[in-house]
Amino acid sequence: MNYKKRMQLKKEHIDSRIEAANIEKGVIVLMTGNGKGKSSSAIGMVSRALGYGMKIGIAKFLKGEQETGEDLFFKEQKNVQTVFMETGFTWESQDKDLDKIKALEAWKLTEEFLSDPTIDLVILDELTYMINYKYLDEEEIIKRLKSRPKKQHVVITGRAACKGLVDIADTVSEVKEIKHAFRSNIKAQRGIDF
Ligand code: ATP
Ligand code: MG
């Protein structure tokens, strides 16, 4: 078969797939894996949505010590509301009970996003850890996600996503680390890493 014919068949196949994909609904996108790019991908979807004047709720469940570039940018955006888990959660967290309380407080505010039909896109950044550390209840989260407004999109990020999140998500990507600059002793870079 010649090239032109092959391409024509391919185009027909793709066109039929596009025609079949006619369901309009809010989707859940889950970005997991050990490589760099999960939160950046979520931020990318925020900028896409902002371009269309959509309203966005962002919940960040692991807050670093300093504000990131996107935090500074989103503060200026009237269509973005942000909830931060109010603690310096770290791997060597000194106070698990306090972290749990703070996680629950942040989740309470996040639930408001998930019940507000005027919010088009909700970002749940680093949510996977809250479930894995049992700070938040997996079933409760899944129930909330299922009962959100029909057209609302959700993006969830974090390593080691549990099966419940994978099952409920419509799109799941695993970002694989091939290399990371940090391993060559290059420090985290402004505008790239934070
Ligand atoms: P990013 O926010 O850059 O998209 P991420 O959300 O995929 O990264 P996290 O696990 O949330 O990854 O880590 C956040 C920070 O750690 C970022 O500064 C990121 O560059 C860095 N980082 C991500 N993956 C790795 C890795 N495999 N090794 C070392 N540092 C990493
Ligand atoms: Mg991240």
What pLDDT score was predicted for residue 89? 52
Q: Is residue 105 part of a domain?
A: yes
CATH number of the domain enclosing 122: 3.40.50.300
* Candidate from 46-50, 85-89, 163-167 with smallest mean pLDDT: 85-89
Name the residue among 70, 81, 49 with its Cα closest to residue 151.
49
User: Which of 31, 36, 38 gets mutated to test ligand 1 (max ligand atoms within 8 A of its CB)?
Assistant: 36
Spatial CA neighbour of 149 closest among 25, 23, 21: 25
Report yes or no on 5 lying in a domain: no
Domain limits for position 159: 26-184
Strands 153-157 and 56-60: unpaired
71 CB under 6 A from ligand 1? Answer: no
Alpha-carbon torsion angle 165, 126, 24, 52, nearest 10 = 180
User: Would residue 8 count as lying in a domain?
Assistant: no
Give the Cα separation of 190 and 172 in Å (integer).
28
Please report whether residue 18 resides in a domain.
no
For 53-91, the pLDDT digits (tens) are 999 999 999 877 789 999 999 999 999 999 999 875 555
CA 183, distance to chain mean position in Å, is 25
Q: How far apart are CA 148 and CA 189, in angstroms?
A: 36
CB of 194 closer than 6 A to ligand 1? yes
Kindly state if the Cβ of 182 falls inside 6 Å of ligand 1: yes
Q: How far is the CA of 18 from the centre of ligand 1 (A)?
A: 34
Nearest C-alpha to atom 15 of ligand 1 is from which residue? 193
Count up the domains in the chain and report the number: 1
pLDDT at 165 over 60: yes
From 126, 128, 157, select the one nearest 28 (Cα to Cα): 157
Decide if 130 is inside a domain: yes
Q: Would you place residue 128 in the very low, low, confident or very high pLDDT band (cuts 50, 70, 90)? A: very high
| Distance from the alpha carbon of residue 106 to the mean position of ligand 2, in angstroms | 17
Residue 130 pLDDT class (50, 70, 90 cuts): very high
Q: Is residue 191 part of a domain?
A: no
Q: Rounded to an integer, what distance in angstroms lies between the CA atom of residue 64 and that of residue 127?
A: 14
Ligand 1 atom 25 nearest Cα: 36
Report the C-alpha gap between 89 and 194 in whole angstroms. Answer: 17
Look at residue 12 and tell me if it is in a domain: no
Q: Hey, what are 89's tokens?
A: 């959660």
13 is a domain residue: no
User: Which residues crowd ion ligand 2, with CB under 5 Å?
Assistant: 38-39
- Nearest atom of ligand 1 to the alpha carbon of 31: 7
- Ranges of beta strands (E only) in the chain are 28-32, 56-60, 80-84, 121-125, 153-157, 171-174
pTM more than 0.85: yes
Read off the pLDDT of each residue in 178-184 and give the average, rounded to a whole number.
94
